[in-house]
Each structure stands twice: as C-alpha cells, then as structure tokens.
Chain A
Amino acid sequence: MQRYLVRRILQFFLIVFIANSLTFIVPRLVPGDPITEFLNNQQLLNPNPEFETWVADYKAKFGTDRPLWEQYLNFWAGAVRGDFGYSIISFPQTVMHRIGVALPWTIGLVSVGTLLAFLFGTSMGALLGWPDSPQMFQWFVPVLMVIGGIPFWLFSFVVIWIFAVELGILPPAGGINMLDVLIQGDTLQARVVSIAQHAALPIFVFVLFGVGGWGLTMRANLIMTLGEDYILFAHAKGLPESRIFLRYGVRNALLPVLTALAMAIGGIIGGSTLLETAFSYPGVGSVVGAAIQQRDYFVISGAAFFMILSSALALLLVDLMYPLIDPRVRYQ
C-alpha cells in the first residue's frame, strides 16, 4: 500500500515534469520570440526611437535574454513557487494573478456542468442499455449520438441568440453583474442569484451536449456487462429485475465510466476554453482565449501548466480511487 502510494506519486511528478518540459522546450525551438513580435507591433503603432534598447530591456525583464538552459531552470524555479512571470500585454500583472483570479470561476462552472451531465447521461445510458426498458427509449440513441459528437460549444451561439438576444431572459455574457448586485445592496443572496443567472446558459449547453457522450458510453458498457455470466446466474437466482439492473448491471458497468469522469474533471481547465470564450465567462478559458488573440505568450504557457497539472492529478486520483470502488484492483 505504502510502496504503491510512493510509486504512484512519483509517477505523477514524472508526468508533470516531462509534459511541462516538452511544452517548454519544443515551442522554443521554433524561430522568433513573442517579445520581439509584440514590440514590433507596438513600434508600428507608436514608434520608439531607441527600439533596440527597448527590446533588450523587455527581454531582460522577462528573462528571455538568457541561454535556453538557464531559462528552463528559471522556469522550474518559478513554477514550484507558483511564479510564471509577467503578462506581456498587461505588464506588470503576473501570469499567476490573471489565472488565479479566473480559476474559481472555471472550477465552479465546469465541475457543476460535468457532474450534472454525468448524472443525467449515465442514468439515461443505463436505461438505454437495459433490454427491458421501454422501446421508445431506443429512439434516443441516434439523437444522443449526434448531439454527443458535435463540438458542444458551437451551440453556445444558438442558446445565446434564443435566450439572451431574442427572449432576453438571461444575460448573454459575463460571470456576475456587479452593478445589479450593488443596486440590490450587495447582499450574498444578490450575488448568488446573479452568478447563477450568468452560469445558467453555459451550464445548460455543457449539460445538454455532455449527456450524449456519457449516455452512449454507459449504454455500451452496460450491454457488455449484460453478456456476463453473473447476470445470467442472477436471473437464475430469481432476483427481481430492478435488483439485477442496479446491483449486478449498473454497478459493474459504472466502473470504467467513473474513470472517464475523473479524467473529465482533470480536463476541466482545458476543456472549457471555447465555451467560456463564447460566453465571455470570466474563467481561465477566457483568459487563455484573450491571451491567444493578443499573443500574450507567457499567460498561454502558464495556463498550459495548470492544464497539465490538473489532468495528471486526475490520473493520480483515478489510480488511488479505483481500489475503493473495484475490489479486484488492489494497491500493488
């Protein structure tokens, strides 16, 4: 048990180390650097007579005047302290500040969305896979397949148009309307209502189109499980359908889906970039989206660090959690 833990945690650090080293080094092999590019653009708008010193000055501030190996060491030295340097665009704001402010919004939005989609999706998939469920359920399969396979963020536009533009019942963008909240006396209740109103549409899109994937996975797993001998024997034991369905069918079919859930939670930070951008939601996704459009390179790479970290954490979580839900797997 203890050796397993130690090995598994070491593996976690190894993944984080290798993945981040790759994302640090490989892009830097491409010619050109983001600071010169940024200052070149500035120069066009607003010429600076001492351009060369200006560039050198900036490079020194960002540490890109050093040799690559030194930058690499500095990167890790900073990363362990949670320091990813400065934003190029909104200097002297730090990358950590920009991401730190946005992180709670993303975690709140996506974890609620993922959990709801998971709950609806797996229950629906289980019903679809059970041979004795009503026949009309079967028509959901192609529907789920289609909506589950289309990139869900595309539907943000449709939803914004219907609910915010045409009907005008929910806000089209943002995470909270502070003006509204202040008018109502800045109470906690007013804040919660405003946050909920703003999160409603993105979560709706997230859930509506996440259900398909979960549903189909669960259905396929359940169908495979139903072919097992223990299901036949459960019938031979004279157990009622409902018990066979839940304790023998769903309980076993759920195991691989739970792994997928943990992985999905690990993808929280990276997975919502497009959704957040569409809704201008104040989360990490929007920060990344804006940084990409402004070529704010260090913000992008700082966000990538967190994406790698969260998916590696999810992998670790799966391995630590699995022996608890599947008695066949032990900490070895």
Chain B
Amino acid sequence: MTKKRAKPSKLNTELILGAAILGAIILFSLITPIFIDKDDSLLGKFPPNVKPNSVNLLGTDLQGRDIFTTLVYAAPQTLQVGVVTGLISLSFGTLMGVLAGFFPGRIDDIVRFISDGLVAIPAIAFLMVFVARMQNPSIYVIALSIACLTWPGSARAIRSQVLTLRERQYISIARSNGQKELEVLFREVMPNVFPLLLAQFIGAVNGGIGTAMALEVLGLVPTRRFLSLGLMIFWVQRMGGVLRGMWYWWGPPILLIALIFAGLLFLSSGMNVFVNPRLAGYGAAAKRRTAARIKEFLAARRAAAKGMEPPDEDAILEVRNLNVVYETVEGPVKAVNDVSFSIKPGERMGLIGESGSGKTTAATAMMRLSRPPAFITHGQVLLEGRDLMSIPDEELRRLRLKEIAMVPQASMNALNPVMRIGDQIKDALIVHEGRMSRAAMEKRIAEAFGMVDLPADVGKQYPHQLSGGMKQRATMAIAVALRPKVILADEPTSALDVVVQKRVMMTLMRLQRDLGAAVMLIGHDIGLMTQFVDNLGVLYAGRLVEWAPVEDILNDALHPYSRMLIESLPTLTRKKALIGIPGMPPQLLNLPPGCPFAPRCPFVMDRCREEMPEVQSPQPGRQVACHLYPSHTALPPLPIRDLIPEVLAEGLVPQVLPDAVAGD
C-alpha cells in the first residue's frame, strides 16, 4: 500500500539561514579557544574596565576579566544548557504524547490530566521557589526542573499527531496485516512523527535557553561554578554596567543571545513548512509570485476579451474555453480544460462528474472566485454579454449575488459562525441596494426566508443553532435574496440525508420557477440530477465530454463515459445487470496525450491514446468530445458481457458514482 510520508520538499531559505547562524556560533566557540589562554583571561588578571583594544578585543569587565574570552566560553555553555533541557523535555513529551496518542482510554486520560494541571501552574513561579531552596544547584538539576514543567507542550502536539496518524488507512492496513501494536508504532507511526519531533525539539531548546537564562539573570544559579551568557548579563546588572556606559560588556552577549534565538526561530519556522504545509504559500516571496500570476492571467484574459466573438443573444450565461490550473509543487494541474457551454434564461442545467473532475473548480471559476493555488488561465464567462473574467473587480463585485449567485458546496460552513443569519442577509442587501428603513429591511429578510420555507425568526439565530437542512436553506435564502438571474448550486444537498435532500431540491426547483432564474446544478448523483434538469453536461478529468438535453443522454448517450454512467443507474422498469465503470479516473498531473477516458473506454482506438478529441456536434443541440464521431452517428451498444465479469471481480456494483457517500 502507498504510504503517505511527509514530502521531502526543498530546503528553504529560513532553514539554511537558521542552520548557518547556529553553525557559525558553534564553530566560533569551538575554534577560538585554541588561540586563547583561558586561565589568564578568566582569572581577572587584567586591569578592570578597559575599553576594547588590541590586547582585550572587547575590553575587560569590572573584575578585570577579558570579555572576549568570557564570551567564547559562555556561548557553548548556554547552548549546552538549552540542548540538555530540550532533550529531557522532549523525551518526556514524546513518551507521554505517544503513549497517550497510541493507547487512548485510561493512559490518555491520565497523561492529559497531569499535563493540563501542569499548564495551569506558572512555570517561573514554581521554578523560583524550588530553585531558591536548593543550595548550589548544578545547572543540570535546573535543566531537569525546567523540563519537568515544559514537557506538556510537546506531549500535546505529538499526541494529536499520533492520533491523526492512527486513523490513516495504511495504519489500519498494517494492523490488519497482523503487525503487532509496537511494531506498528515504530515502523509506521514514528517515522511520520519525526518532522514534528524535530520542530518540537527546536522549540524545547528555545524554551530551555530562555528559562535557564531568566533564572541565571535573576541570580538563582550559583555564579562561581558556571559561566554562561545569562550570567554575564547577571554581572552587568549587578555591577551597574549599563549606567557606567560599558556597552562593550553587555552588548556582545546580548547580540550573541539574539543571534542564537534568531537562528532557532529560523530553523523552527523553516521546519514548520514540513509540519504544517498549509502555511507554505504565505511567505513574502510566494505571495508576490501569486499576486504577479493573478495579474498576468487577468491581463491576458482582458486582451483576449477584446477580440472575442459577439455573445449569443439567446443565452444568459455563456462559458467559453474556461481553463483553470492548480499550481502545485509537482507542477501545474489542469483541473478545468477548455470547458464551453451555454445556458438560456430560466433553463436548468446539470453538471455531473466524479470527485476531482473539476465541477466545483469550474463553478468557483465562473464567478471568478478561484483562490490560489487555482488560477483561471484563460476563457470567458459571458453573463448577458459581459465577460465576468475580464471586467474590473468593482463591476464584478456588484454583479455577484445580484445577477449571479452561488449556493456553495459546503454550506455547513458557508455561514459566518459569529454573525446572526439575519445580519448575513442584511449586509448583502445593504451592499447591493443601499440603506433602507428598518421595516423595509425586515420585510426583505422575511421574504428571503419565506422563499426557502424558513420561519422569519431564524434571522435572530446563529448558524450553529440550525440543523444541516436549515443551514442549507438559510444559505439558499441569502443566494436568492436579490432574485439573481443565474444560480450556481454546487451539490446543494450532498451533506444531507435523503429525505431532507429531496425537500431542499424541491425548494430549489420551485424557486427557480418562481424567479425564472437559470440554474446550474452541480453534482455526482446522476439519479437525483436527471429528475431536475433540462440539459446535462458530463465532466471527465476537467473536460466537458458530453453536453445534451437530459432525455437524449438518458436514451442514447453519445460518449462512452456518459453511457456507462447511465448504465450504472438502477431502474424499476429495466430488468438487467448493473454495471460499474472499471478503473479509476486519471491523475490530472502529467496527463498523457489523447483522450483522458481512453484507459477505461471499451471502444478505445489507437487514435484515442495520441490525440485529444475535439468537441463536435453529431446531432443538433448536442456536444460530444469523442473520436467515434463523426464517423458514427450514435454510440454502438456497450459490450456489457465483457464488462460484467470484471466488475463483479472487483466487487464494484455501485448504484451511483462512488463518491456519493464520501462527498468531495
């Protein structure tokens, strides 16, 4: 089975910078001692308070010690204390975190109880009292005390990582393959926790140095037996080095401390990209590149729009050669590839396809809402002749919701959780129609709720107070509040149970009739879809492979893929075996030339593997992208007998497409 290890992405600048700073400090403190006589310099044999000169590079302190030498010996000690503290804290943390994550139940509860309790105790308060009581504590005893209080942080992070990993498929597979728990733990879980461990270690070292230094500066660490950057600061403070203007005394250790912390920070933030890939695209450089690309594509679309063919007078919405690309680390992924279709006023169109076929990407792009890493590379979307892909931002903003509205896919999360539903309609009304009297506003809001069969007092509630079906209706109420001409409904029912699904769909269709709006309904449930739409577009691997009136597709689909979709539907009247579609949809990255359906197609020809089929119209009012045409006028019968054994062998007898259960 494929393991999902953390991707070995490239070394980033932060990581290199951090390693360079820390490496330089370590190298410096390893090499310099060779050239310096330690005893001479540290015993205070020099005259006190000498400014920097050729003998004492950084001068001497008030006790006649050479500051440069002190620094050379103090820096590695400070790092050492940090590393020791970090190691102890991380070992505790890892042990507890892994135990708690891998053995939920009693052990998890106990670990969480202890770590929650420790978090509530301010570490510095406890350490002060504890260390003050000890007589001449060694710095390692102090490191141990610090670690005892700081481990819960890493334990929590590691626990939650282990918990997520446990649920991954390959872990359950490993377990069902008969691997022992401990074996699973060390072979499968630990390698994946490793990047997090490294990041946590850097954090623990950082915390260790900081806390130890605080105790040193406060004077809790005996000053005779130990030398560190923190103690240098302690002496400066004790002897009034700042007010005496001895910048060469306190300046260098502070600079060195700052460098150490900066190095650790760069390291940990460089590592963060591995631990939390989502933050990767938010660096300054990445952001600038993204902004530049958005601008570039917009300029290109504007240039193309100047010479476009005149809009179709009959259509309210016309999509022409829409292309959307996801820019990923591995390369560009063409998620929507030259999609074209048109919708007439009041028409209901369905767009169907499997997960990852580009349905949602296309719908989001049609309102120019695509967000990086998705980019609309070219294409036009004409709403009553205006090209939404190239008009100025402000003009586009005014058209959204008022002319073209969207019922988003994940409407569970489409509502702002901290705003009352009514206010979320109200702000849209104010923006598009200006301020109005309170009574008028309330009337409009009640009207919007009325359209979706919600009582008006829903407006006073917050999203979390509503059920899934009600949230879906509330979202729909916002979408139709301004009576738009076009509604893009992206799987409006996918998260709902069958009964509620049906009711929401009925509401949507009634609204469509009442408002006379054109609707584009997106989904993967072909059975549900065919009941509600006039025209159906079939999307496969980002290509619109067929587009036709729904009866035509049901009775004689032209594209082999659409036909196989229809055949996979159970019916009450036809008595025959159901077939599925063998194989999997293709990976869109590095798509081979030719028709993307070729590997699964029962009619595949040599040409299909080499040449992408053009969109053509073998019958009026229908579009298909397949090499069978124009030499054929209809699709030959499916070689079902050949297909069934394979389907049965794979145990696949789906009633709808596989992701009907899983969602997108």
Contacts and interface: CB of A to CB of B under 8 A. Distances in A.
Contact of A151 (B122, B214, B219, B475): B214
B210 A138 contact: no
A37 B413 contact: no
Given A154-B254, A158-B254, A236 B135 contact: no
A131 B417 CA distance: 22
Interface stretch (A63-71, A77-85, A294-302): A294-302
Interface string A232-262: 1111111110010001100110010000000
Contacts of A180: none
Contacts of A139: 284
A141 interface: yes
Contact of B414 (A142, A151, A230): A230
Nearest to A267: B122
Q: Which residue, A150, A173, A247, A312, has most C-beta atoms of chain B within 10 A?
A: A150
Contact of B122 (A153, A166, A270, A293): A270
Interface residues of A, number: 84
Contacts of B219: 289, 292-293
The bracket for how many chain B residues form the interface is 35 or more
A30 B218 contact: no
B287 A311 contact: no
Contact of B210 (A19, A135, A151, A224): A151
A273 B428 contact: no
A223 interface: yes
A129 B279 CA distance: 11
A149 interface: yes
B415 interface: yes
B126 A292 contact: no
Interface stretch (A21-29, A90-98, A118-126): A21-29
B132 A300 contact: yes
Interface in B381-424: 397-402, 405-406, 408-419
B262 interface: yes
Contact of A311 (B120, B129, B257): B120
Query: For chain A, what secondary structure do more than half of its interface residues adopt (helix, strand, loop), or is it mixed?
Result: helix
Interface in B481-523: none
A108 interface: no
A288 B233 CA distance: 18
Contacts of A304: 122, 125-126, 128-129
Interface stretch (B236-244, B564-572, B586-594, B614-622): B236-244
A1 B245 CA distance: 59
Interface stretch (B311-319, B323-331, B364-372): B364-372
Contact of A247 (B130, B291, B416): B416
A50 to B, nearest CB: 24
Nearest to A329: B464
A154 B258 contact: yes
A15 interface: yes
A327 B417 contact: yes
A173 B431 CA distance: 55
Nearest to A229: B413
A239 B218 contact: no
Q: Which residue, A18, A145, A146, A238, has most C-beta atoms of chain B within 10 A?
A: A238
A230 B279 CA distance: 19
Interface of B: 14, 117, 120-122, 124-126, 128-130, 132-135, 206, 210, 213-214, 217-220, 233, 236-238, 242-243, 245, 247, 250-251, 254, 257-258, 261-262, 264-266, 269, 278-279, 282-284, 287-288, 291, 364, 367, 369, 371, 397-402, 405-406, 408-419, 427-428, 431-432, 462, 464, 475, 478
Given A161-B250, A240-B397, A307-B122, 15 more contacts: A15-B120, A138-B283, A142-B284, A153-B217, A154-B254, A236-B408, A237-B431, A238-B400, A238-B428, A270-B122, A288-B218, A292-B220, A304-B129, A311-B120, A327-B418
17 contacts: A18-B117, A19-B126, A23-B126, A135-B287, A138-B284, A138-B287, A146-B258, A146-B262, A154-B254, A223-B279, A223-B282, A233-B415, A236-B405, A237-B427, A277-B218, A304-B126, A307-B125
